[in-house]
Homo-oligomer: A and B are copies of this chain.
Amino acid sequence: MTMKLYCFGESGNAYKVALTLGFADVDWEPVHVDFFKGETRGAEFRTLNVMGEVPVLIDGDTVLTQSAVIQDYISSKTGKLGGQSAAERREVLRWMFFDNHKLSGQAGPLRFNMNFLPEDKRNADINGYLSMRLHSALKVLETQLDGRDWLASSDVSIADLACCGYLYYPEAFTFDRAAYPRVDAWLDRIAALPGWKHPYDLMTRAYPPAD
C-alpha cells in the first residue's frame, strides 16, 4: 500500500522523511499541507497530530509523527539506512536526537524567522541567539566528520538524512557551506547518492501563501 506523507516543500523535517522514503525504495505520495495559511495549527490537523506539525506519515492504520520516529519506522520496516548492531543503532539515534535538539532545532526556526516572518517581526537579537546556537552545533558536526564519511555508521544512515534536513535550502540562515569544509563534502556525498533530490524538487512549496 502506498504510504502518504503530509508535507510541504519548506519543511526540512518533512524533507528528512521524504529523503528516507526515497532512499529506502518505499512507494509513497505527498499530501500537501498549506502551512503558511495555518493548516497545521487548526483543529482538524490537530486531531491527526496533537503536536500541530508536519511531517505525518500514514501507512495503512498506522499514523506516525515526529520526523525521527518516522525515519526509524521506515528503516526498521525495510531493513535499510539503520545501524548494523544495537550499538550502531544507538549511535544513529544519538545523532538524530542531537539533530532535533541542537541542529535542525535551531536551523529551522532561524530560517523561518529570517525568511518567512513578516519583515517587521524579524528580531536581530533572537536571530543572533539562534545563529550562535546553530554554529555551535555545526562545529560539532564538522568535528564528527573528521576522517569519517558518515555521521553514525559505516554507511549512510537515517542520522545523516536527519542532520542534513535543513542544510540544502537556498534561503539565508547564516550557514555558509564554505566555512565548514567537512560538512560541505558530506552534503555533496549525500547529494551524489542515486535518487537524491533537492527538497523543492521532492515536495510542493507552500510559500508565499496563496490569497
Main secondary structure of the interface of A (DSSP, over half): helix
Q: What residues of chain B lie closer than 8 Å to A126, measured between beta carbons?
A: 125-126, 129
Q: Which of B46, B97, B105 contacts A69 (CB 8 A)?
A: B97
Q: How far is the CA of A97 from the CA of B62 in the complex (A)?
A: 18
Is B97 within 8 A of A52, CB to CB? no
A160 within 8 A of B: no
Q: What is the oligomeric copy number? A: 2
The residue on B at minimum CB distance from A46 is B143
A106 to chain B, nearest CB (A): 9
Query: Which residues A95-110 have CB closer than 8 A to chain B?
Result: 96-98, 100-102, 105, 109
Is A50 within 8 A of B93, CB to CB? no
Is A52 within 8 A of B123, CB to CB? no
Give the interface size bracket for A toward B: 20 to 34
A189 within 8 A of B: no
Is A105 within 8 A of B101, CB to CB? yes
Q: List 25 A-B contacts (CB under 8 A).
A: A50-B143, A50-B144, A51-B102, A52-B140, A64-B90, A64-B94, A66-B93, A66-B94, A66-B97, A66-B98, A67-B97, A68-B93, A69-B93, A72-B90, A72-B93, A96-B97, A97-B97, A97-B100, A100-B101, A100-B105, A105-B105, A123-B125, A123-B129, A125-B125, A125-B126
Interface residues of A (CB under 8 A from B): 46, 50-52, 62, 64-69, 72-73, 87, 90, 93-94, 96-98, 100-102, 105, 109, 123, 125-126, 129, 133, 140, 143-144
